[in-house]
Amino acid sequence: MRTIVVGMGVQGKKRKKYLGKDFIFSVDKFKKADYKSILDIPLTAYDTAFLCVPENQKIKLIQYCIKNKKNILVEKPLLVKSSKILVNLEKEAKKNKITFYTAYNHRFEPNILKLKNLIEKKVLGKIYKCKIFYGNGTSYLVKKSKWRDKGSGVITDIGSHMLDLCLFWFGNKVKRLKVVEINKFENKAPDHAIISLEINKIKIELEMTLCMWKNTFTCDLLASKGSAHLDSLSKWSKNTFIYRKRKLPSGRPIEKIITFKKGDPTWNSEYLFFKSLIKKNKKNNFKRDLILNREFTKIKKYNFS
């Protein structure tokens, strides 16, 4: 797979690292790269493009790649003003027989996959509530950025990962999404927010922030036959998955704890997954992007001022 990486920021450099021999050229107008523009690369030189660029650059690049029948991996989130844009992109992608994929690498975290497996086994019984907290201390870095400290801020940055995980675990039927709290503690754009929603009658609460001075990810899932608890992500530290089997009528539950060592496997795992989609000739679709775009459009209606 002959692949170019467009955008050599943090994400682009990570993608290049795991492409190995599949990497051909880098593209970036402002940073050190092989080319300044994707237009300068001969179309015969590559068949796949990784788009690691800001939101306002994505659509034109996607349209160019689809038109020229190049497979596409684009960094999350893919948010547009109108869902019609995504619908048209999907039609053109299918017409030109290319594989399109929006990257949400957290789906490949070991403890997140463990929870997915536990849910699918249906040993938890009726799931009552899921609460996720995701925070890091990047508010100052965001403030210094020319393009990051604007719009909905942490809500689309971290919140898109969190909402995607809810779709991954619980399904696509999002209801009653509501912004509970928005704060701008240090930034022009929101750097702390709490969102509530329901999926398949499961109550969900998502809290996200750029003002957590130690990187933190926790998830607590409560259900009729037990509970599950996630602590941290592999990119930061060793992390745990805990399953507690309920004891009736009450008492100390049977507890199973699995610890995963530090070392982020998600970038390579996601790349291999994307590569398998191409090999299997899976064209994928834009259903996830359409759902996320619909829900974030609702959020954007809130007053961030």
CB 194 within 8 A of CB 224: no
State the residue for tokens 């619909």: 294
CA pair distance 48, 214, nearest whole angstrom: 37
Confidence of residue 303 (pLDDT cuts 50, 70, 90): low
**271 φ/ψ angles, rounded to the nearest 5 degrees:** -65, -45
CA pair distance 65, 78, nearest whole angstrom: 15
Pinpoint the alpha helices (H) of 133-281. Answer: 139-144, 154-170, 266-279
Parts of the chain belonging to CATH 3.40.50.720: 3-104
Peptide bond connecting 249 to the previous residue in cis, omega within 30 degrees of 0: yes
CB 284 within 8 A of CB 99: yes
Mean pLDDT, residues 185-195: 95
Assigned token pair, 104: 């949400």
Parts of the chain belonging to CATH 3.30.360.10: 110-264
pLDDT greater than 80 at residue 147:
no
Confidence of residue 301 (pLDDT cuts 50, 70, 90): confident
CA pair distance 72, 107, nearest whole angstrom: 18
Confidence of residue 150 (pLDDT cuts 50, 70, 90): confident
DSSP assignment string, 65-134: HHHTT-EEEEESP---S-HHHHHHHHHHHHHTT--EEEE-GGGG-HHHHHHHHHHHHT-S-SEEEEEEEE
Q: Which of helix, strand or coil describes residue 58?
A: helix
Hey, what CATH class is 110-264 in? alpha beta
Mean pLDDT, residues 103-110: 96
C-alpha closest to that of 20 among 275, 228, 259, 303 = 275
Q: Which of helix, strand or coil describes residue 165?
A: helix
pTM given for the model: 0.93
What is the bridge-based pairing of β-strands 127-135 and 174-183? unpaired
pLDDT tens-digit series, residues 257-298 = 999 999 999 999 999 999 999 998 776 778 999 999 999 988
The CB-based long-range contact list for 177-184 (8 Å cut-off, 24+ gap) reads: 177/295, 177/298, 177/299, 179/155, 179/299, 179/302, 180/205, 182/155, 182/302, 182/304, 184/153, 184/304
3-104 has which fold? Rossmann fold (3.40.50)
CB 196 within 8 A of CB 178: yes
Q: Which amino acid is at 272?
A: L
Confidence of residue 299 (pLDDT cuts 50, 70, 90): confident
pLDDT greater than 60 at residue 305:
no
Assigned token pair, 265: 């496997």
DSSP 8-state symbol, 35? B
Q: How would you class 113 by CB atoms within 10 Å of its CB: exposed for 0-12, middle for 13-18, buried for 19 or more?
A: middle
Q: Which of helix, strand or coil describes residue 160?
A: helix
What is the bridge-based pairing of β-strands 202-209 and 127-135? parallel
pLDDT tens-digit series, residues 63-99 = 999 999 999 999 999 999 899 999 999 999 999 999 9
Confidence of residue 42 (pLDDT cuts 50, 70, 90): very high
